[in-house]
Chain A
Amino acid sequence: MSKLLEVREGSCHLLMGNEAIARGALEAGINVAAAYPGTPSSEILENLAQVAKVRNLYVEWSTNEKVAMEVAAAASFAGLRSLCVMKQNGVNVASDFMLHLAGSGTRGGMVLVTCDDPGALSSVNEGESRHFARMIEVPLLEPGDFQEAKDMTRWAFELSEELRTLIMLRSVTRMSHASGNISMGKLQDQLRRAEFRYDGFILDPNEGPVLSAPVAYKHGLQQGKIEKARELFEQSPFNTYEGPEKPELLIITSSACTLYSREAIHLLNLGGRVGLLKLGTTWPLPPNLLKKYLTLTGTILIVEEVLPFLEENVKIIAAETAKEIGIKTFYGKNDGTIPMTGELSPDLVVSALSRILEIPYAAIDPAYEKKAQAAAFFKAPQRGLAFCPGCPHRASYWNIRNALTLDDRQGFVCGDIGCYTLDIFPGGANTLKTLHAMGSGTGVASGFGQLSPFGLDKPVMAVCGDSTFFHAAMPALVNAIHHRANITVVILDNSGTAMTGFQSHPGLCINAMGQEAPKVDIAKICAAMGAKVAVCDPFDLPETQKTLNRLMEDEVGVKVLILNQKCGLSPEKKAVKKYDVHVDENLCIGEDCGCNRLCTRIFRCPALLWDKEKEKARVDDVLCAGCGVCTGICPQAAIVKEVA
């Protein structure tokens, strides 16, 4: 049984931040949850999907973040409580709808959870979602520990209903993917019936149509809601102070940085000298509360990740109240005390405090550190990301690279977002030459495909995953087809949203709740749009390469090649070896072969090794997934497979 269904109030469980957020939503009695998967946010909806049946929820993996927010908003308009979840850059995708939703207002409680990834631990951007709260004018909450992640989520729904607006709750990787003891609250049953009222007066928030017009009027209402939030936040129990009455220095922080700051104060033994103001309601900031604590001292350190959001907003309040609170010295990101990029840690807060207060601190004994650094440098070779053993993408990129080489016109590939992004890393084939947002590979290729009149004579290719295809590549593909862009789009269909943990998408016959669902056929969509479509199995190396070369030679319009092969970690394939693979040592002639170790130097499968002593290739049985693809690359046919 899922821990999220625990009915004993006050019982203690170890929950991940994302599980705590999901539990908070259940305690708020939500009816609907919608999301698009993205690290570090995905486990929230996954956990809700697991209990959907028992808790009578509707849960879906939407095609993208904007649709997720629209689906959740409909539930709110019908008076239900709803949650939508996304990673930081997902908010960019949803932001157009979000702007209009702020204008129209909500009915049933509606919460947007965004999980930012400071340091881009699993992202290709270091986006900051908090500015959307200020820009779009919706209240923003940031939990400072795991218990708060749960409690704040529950409260956010009440707040949303009180203010009649979307509430944004921002987590970060070290909150979402960290775990702690959580005391459970009451699991609330949903007793609401969905009813959408639209026949009332146009300005009636309960009975009228849900619109962002008349704009000036609705915008004014929205700003009134922010004013109301500002007043409510003055009394919020999620804003706390710990430390002496007259601190020498005041740290103002939020989110996981609260835990780093507290630890740094502990490490430097500064409990009697440094105060910690932890803010849970970070937009709009409560000015009287800030004034009260800014008065305590002249030296302020603001500790936060990604952009200086708190810092700038606190400084505005400090400027406006300068006559009363006096002139302050601020330390933070703007003066370089806190790094402007990358994630923070207790050590970075220690180093900020030790610089400002001139306290020496050495984390590690210098003699030990020197030895340890040397050992790591010489004996712990860097571990570059690589495609997993059995990954279809390794075979796909092998085919793409060989096709480009054979084509010999210096063709290149526009990249996209998914596991196949790893082509840019040491484990990849290094064919991707642009890499941006979801769906951008096809969009950018569509643009390159128009440049031959200006002299661009290189063949243009794009890659795109199956989930990415539905998310954002479809409009780009329509654009390319309508404008006759000369491009080849390779759809790497591995039957799931693999990078984030194998969530379902419209191309599969199952939905988030495990129910049977109509499969939307990518090949048929592309053909209906007007592309020339071919389908191959990337594990069939000769056929795939031949098809790719044929498509690249056809210089009229958009060609689509769909490469179908399930992810090696998919439930059907995981731990199932199709083939037993080994190297026949009599056939492998090692360095004498002339292939220059094609198998290990170029193919780069973690399970296919080079035995230095024997000077021959070797298969690691523990790691090998048994896909058998490597048997097709050896010029000596020394890699042998047998049906397992």
Chain B
Amino acid sequence: MIVKKFKLPSDPYNIIITGVGGQGNVMASRVLSNMLVNRGFMITIGETFGASQRGGAVMSHIRVSSKGTWSPQIPKGKADVIIALEPIEAIRVLAAYGHPGVFVLANTRPVYPVGVITGELNYPSREEIKLSLQELSAQLWLIDATDQAIGLGNPILTNIIMIGAFAKLGKLPILLDDFIKVMEQTLTGDKLEINLKAFTLGMEALET
């Protein structure tokens, strides 16, 4: 198996996928983790999704290891990569789990908290978000994933585009074929096709 030759950047390698209820956060963490299980890794996922469809922040902690099971909560300051389906959620997660060496991939499209909608709270500008994320990460990729997903015909594909971008980052041995293998388990025809397109778009987003 290829994984035998692949040395994890750290063991466990810690990924946080974050977003807002309804964005497909949990699905993204399952897909990514199943790709890695197929590659022979031990995975532990911890998910906070109790009120996930009701506007709350959602977070999946993924621990990738060749040794065993880890805590389903990543210790503070120990995230290696943050994949944010919503940009300010990346900032929130960095405050607890970030460190100067963390990589951040963030979707650019805001989902406004109810306090912002009512006018009680302020949502930062795109430029302010970018500055903060740059300051708090080793490297940052801002990806217009929702816009691209709308282009494909369905904004829910945002999560798959972000996973494609992470795959391209090359920190873990996951390729388009790994994605196909996992998605073929549950999808066929047009639905499979559109997901593959989304994943590929994500990979391309990191190249440019």
Contact = CB atoms under 8 A, between A and B. Distances in A.
Interface in A112-156: 117, 121-123, 145-147
B70 A381 contact: no
B71 interface: yes
Interface residues of A, number: 69
A40 to B, nearest CB: 7
A55 interface: no
A147 B42 CA distance: 12
Interface in B51-69: 51, 53-57, 69
Interface stretch (A229-237, A361-369, A434-442): A361-369
A622 B114 contact: no
Contact of B115 (A147, A369, A382): A382
Interface string B24-41: 000000100110010000
B57 to A, nearest CB: 5
B92 A376 contact: yes
B121 interface: yes
B94 A121 contact: no
Contacts of B119: 597, 600-601, 610
Contact of B121 (A179, A376, A381, A600): A381
Contact of A174 (B73, B77, B122): B73
Contacts of B173: none
B109 to A, nearest CB: 7
B151 interface: no
Contacts of A386: 54-55, 114
Nearest to B37: A14
B45 A180 contact: yes
A551 B135 CA distance: 59
A39 B95 contact: no
Nearest to B98: A372
Given A178-B47, A179-B43, A375-B136, A263 B118 contact: no
A569 B123 CA distance: 27
Interface string B151-182: 00001000000000000000000000000000
B132 A375 contact: yes
A373 interface: yes
B112 A260 contact: no
Interface in A239-260: 256, 259-260
Interface string B64-104: 00000111110111100000000011011011001110000
A383 B115 CA distance: 7
Interface residues of B, number: 62
B171 to A, nearest CB: 19
Contacts of A569: 53
B37 A181 contact: yes
B179 to A, nearest CB: 15
B71 A426 contact: no
A350 B54 contact: no
Contacts of B132: 375, 379
Interface of B: 20-22, 30, 33-34, 37, 42-51, 53-57, 69-73, 75-78, 88-89, 91-92, 94-95, 98-100, 109, 111-119, 121-124, 128-129, 132, 135-136, 146, 150, 155
Interface of A: 12-14, 39-40, 117, 121-123, 145-147, 173-175, 177-181, 256, 259-260, 262-263, 267, 345-347, 350, 363-365, 368-369, 371-373, 375-376, 378-388, 419, 422, 426-427, 569, 597, 600-602, 604-606, 608-610, 620, 622-623
16 contacts: A13-B37, A179-B43, A260-B71, A263-B71, A345-B71, A346-B71, A347-B75, A369-B95, A375-B91, A381-B88, A383-B113, A384-B114, A385-B56, A387-B54, A609-B112, A610-B119
Leading 6 A-B pairs by shortest Cβ distance = A122-B50, A376-B95, A178-B72, A364-B77, A386-B55, A381-B121
